[in-house]
């Protein structure tokens, strides 16, 4: 695993190695392959943070499935702003579809708890949530998570699609903010 990463004023230390991330995603994909065989699910990946997770997961999906990408929230700095912005709309008709939301991380839960009712309104056949990371200790707005790769401590994380002020998304591993920061 690589050494420390410094971005702007913050230092991050290695947290989840690439091999473990890939292993967990494959396990999750296998579960979804079983649960959704014949259901032609529609994955809705939430940009920007989930793009790597969505790509690696979708490569391991071997049943008939669709994927689309939407953008909801802007996340600035090391604390959730709570601002939910719909920048890229959902073009697919989700009525009577089996929908699986792909999100990079559930922190306070605010983003998804605001967005889910909009989707439920369109009456999908089913609506489930798959997340790469969940911070249970940070959750204020409870969201039912159906598939989760990692439950993690309430510390800011970076890499594998997740950013600090726009940077760090290209790291293959996940880093966390150094204890002393």
The answer to whether 133 touches 161, Cβ cutoff 8 Å, is no
End-to-end CA distance of the chain: 21
103 binds ligand XMP (CB under 6 A): yes
Give residues with Cβ within 8 angstroms of 128, minimum separation 6. Answer: 99, 100, 101, 146, 147
Clarify whether 104 is annotated catalytic. no
Of 10, 15, 49, 53, the residue at the interface with Mg ion (CB under 5 A) is: 49
Among 25, 110, 124, 171, binds ligand XMP (CB under 6 A): 110
Catalytic residue (one of 107, 137, 146, 165): 107
Would you count residue 10 as binding ligand XMP (CB under 6 A)?
A: no
Place of tokens 């989700």: 94
* Whether the Cβ atoms of residue 163 and residue 48 lie closer than 8 Å to each other: yes
168 binds Mg ion (CB under 5 A): no
Structure token pair of residue 31: 């579960």
Task: In angstroms, give the least distance from the CB of 109 to ligand XMP.
Answer: 5
36 or 53, CB closer to Mg ion?
53
Residues involved in catalysis:
107
The residues binding Mg ion (CB under 5 A) are 49, 104
């Amino acid at each position: 695993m690589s050494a420390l990463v410094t971005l702007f004023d913050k230092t991050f230390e290695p947290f989840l190695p690439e091999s473990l991330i890939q292993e967990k995603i494959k396990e999750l994909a296998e579960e979804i392959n079983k649960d959704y065989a014949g259901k032609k699910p529609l994955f809705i990946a939430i940009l920007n943070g989930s793009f790597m997770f969505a790509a690696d997961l979708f490569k391991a999906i071997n049943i008939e499935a669709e994927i689309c990408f939407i953008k909801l929230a802007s996340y600035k700095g090391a604390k959730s702003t709570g601002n939910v912005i719909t920048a890229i709309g959902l073009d697919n008709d989700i009525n009577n579809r089996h929908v699986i939301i792909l999100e990079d991380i559930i922190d306070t839960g605010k983003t998804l708890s605001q967005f889910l009712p909009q989707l439920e309104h369109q009456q999908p056949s089913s609506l489930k949530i798959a997340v790469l990371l969940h911070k249970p200790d940070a959750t204020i707005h409870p969201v039912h998570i159906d598939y989760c790769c990692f439950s993690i401590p309430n510390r800011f994380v970076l890499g594998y699609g997740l950013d600090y002020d726009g940077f760090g998304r290209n790291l293959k591993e996940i880093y966390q903010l150094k204890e002393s920061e």
